[in-house]
A and B are shown apart, each in its own frame.
Chain A
Amino acid sequence: MTPLWTHRLIPSAMLLLTWQVAATAAQSPLLPTPQAVLEALVAETVHGALLHHLAATLLRVAVCFCLAMTIGGILGSAMAASPRLNRWLDPWLQLLLNMPAMVVAILAYVWLGLGEPAAIIAVTLSKLPNVMVILREGGRQRDRNLAQMAQIFRFSPRLRLVHVILPELAPYLLAATRSGLSLVWKIVLLVELLGRSSGIGFQLNVYFQMLDITHILAYAASFMVVIHAIEISLLTWMDRRVARWKA
């Protein structure tokens, strides 16, 4: 048996089997069978609006993720380099770290209106402190010897960034990416559910109003599969890039 067969397929098959048995026994619209969910998924993909809403959610995930990684990376690194800046920003960081994403989303919608900017800002702000903390730690672990080497050999700012700083921070960027993707898409669903008229979160809310569990599971499954595929491909590629020089 291959490891893939052992570790992935058998547990998945067991889950589906358990679900099928439970749904058949329950005979309730509140617990549809896997087959019913699959049929709804195919129908929504072919004739429904699934692809439209999936694209809307993925776009929000991409924008918020890039914004949070960029701004959080810059702020976290700057806080590592400057104890003074760290003292100034740390209270804000603690505040954001301890503020539930739901509260951030509600406040953003109240203060900025039920629009796209509020949704993007709410998700970005919820992910931002996580990136800042990880990259601040990464910045603190940077090797002073390599910085001195770059100084002696007069590396340009571009050379320092590309060949010294980013590779040093790569494991931390990877950690922030790994935790970031899973966090961002969950918060995106939340803000869509609360205040958008498109996206998987919005559709989940619509079908929740109708207590249509089959479509709720179909939409949730479609999005989880896509995000899981992105995580596996992107993170595997990043893992290989980070590890290729290690003996």
Chain B
Amino acid sequence: MSPAGKPDRLSVDIHAKSWSTGQAVLGDIRFSLAAGEVVALSGPSGCGKSTLLAIVAGLDDDYQGQVSWSGAPRLGMVFQEPRLLPWRTATENVALAMGGGRTAKLRARAILSELGLAEALDAYPARLSLGMARRVALARALAADPEVLLLDEAFVSLDDLSAEVMRQAVLSAVRQQGLSVLLVSHDPRDLSMAGRVLTLGGTPARLLQPA
């Protein structure tokens, strides 16, 4: 059970994570994420927050410890870089997260329009600004109808308006769909979205506050 008293969707119990050079990057880290909960991971640059998120996402399995999910929840993720397919339009990038096809494209266009990208539906990523590309990446993550959303510095380098549009879209999904969110950020405005803020620090990085 999380501190909020809801059943956990995710339990993280990491003992150690080292680079291939032997340098330890993460130490003891233990926390959970409940359904409909927003948890933020904060800490100094380079302390291992993104590495921790990659472990949670299943993109890095070279660590000691355990990441346990309740069932097999659908994941959505917004990476530090948008990671859009450069040879697919904004609509196609979002639709592919739903398996592609005509229906998926229609839904993708609707989601992109809600995020203020109606003018860029058929644009290739090379023609999008960073802020627009990040919004497409968020649209893709939300289109996957996720139960857990992972945000890795998703709102950095954005103008205030774009960042706020994205925050509100995420909070709306939390309220309406019971989405759980684990986000990595330094920005106080992002951290204010979270019910709990976990701070990483030290070498190797550990949780500085009890989870």
The bracket for how many chain B residues form the interface is: 20 to 34
Contact B59 A148 (CB under 8 A): yes
Say yes or no: is A163 at the interface (Cβ < 8 Å to chain B): yes
Contact A151 B58 (CB under 8 A): yes
Say yes or no: is B87 at the interface (Cβ < 8 Å to chain A): yes
CA distance A246 to B86 in the complex (A): 8
CA distance A85 to B40 in the complex (A): 43
Chain B's closest residue to A160 (CB) is: B96
Contact B85 A151 (CB under 8 A): no
B residues 133-187 near A (Cβ < 8 Å) are: 140, 144
Pick from B59, B81, B124: contact of A151, CB under 8 Å? B59
Contact B127 A247 (CB under 8 A): yes
Chain B's closest residue to A242 (CB) is: B87
Pick from B83, B87, B100: contact of A159, CB under 8 Å? B100
B residues 81-97 near A (Cβ < 8 Å) are: 81, 83, 85-88, 92, 96-97
Instruction: Compute the total of residue contacts between A and B using a CB distance below 8 Å.
Output: 51
Contact B83 A155 (CB under 8 A): no
Chain A's closest residue to B137 (CB) is: A149
Shortest C-beta distance, A219 to chain B (Å), equals 42
CA distance A48 to B153 in the complex (A): 72
Pick from A145, A155, A156, A247: contact of B79, CB under 8 Å? A145
Contact B83 A245 (CB under 8 A): no
Say yes or no: is A29 at the interface (Cβ < 8 Å to chain B): no
B residues at A contact (CB < 8 Å): 57-59, 74-77, 79, 81, 83, 85-88, 92, 96-97, 99-100, 124-127, 140, 144
14 A-B residue contacts at CB 8 Å?
Answer: A145-B81, A146-B83, A152-B75, A152-B76, A153-B140, A155-B96, A156-B99, A159-B99, A163-B100, A167-B85, A245-B88, A245-B126, A246-B126, A247-B127
